[in-house]
Structure 1
Amino acid sequence: MPETPVEDMTFEEAIRELELVVGKLERGDVALDDSIALYERGAALKKRCEKKLTEAEEKVAKITTGPDGMAAGTAPLDP
């Protein structure tokens, strides 16, 4: 089964696969070359998750509030 390109993954897909990668590496029953490949894949997955979280945080930060403190809308990320 071919691996999904990391850049095409949702946050949920990336975090799920990252958990699998970490589990395999922690067990320590993977050959050295495979461990290196898993580590590289895990690093790319971690980077993808961090990027998606940053994007989400920026969107949340741009939610505007009305005088009553309730969400009143959103502001563009790039003014």
Structure 2
Amino acid sequence: MDPEQPNPLIRLFLNGTAVGFALSAVFVSGIWIMDVADIHTRSTNSDDAFLILFILWFFHGLLFGAVQISYQVWQIGRDGH
């Protein structure tokens, strides 16, 4: 293994995490734009709108990242079927 290249497992983890947080940003933007459960309306009247968006983005990013990583690990064991 080349010492300048990152470990493949670390690369897999970082790629899955990046994709998960990107999907989370799209998902939370959709929630915000479509005003699901009046989140946009309620948060514009609040001083903590940024905190609400950050918490939604962060925890959905963790969830989507974990799903991406587990799917990639699952695909490693398959024979190409």
TM-score (norm: length of structure 1): 0.45
* Greater share of helix: 2
Higher Cα Rg: structure 1 or 2?
Answer: 1
* Greater share of strand: 1
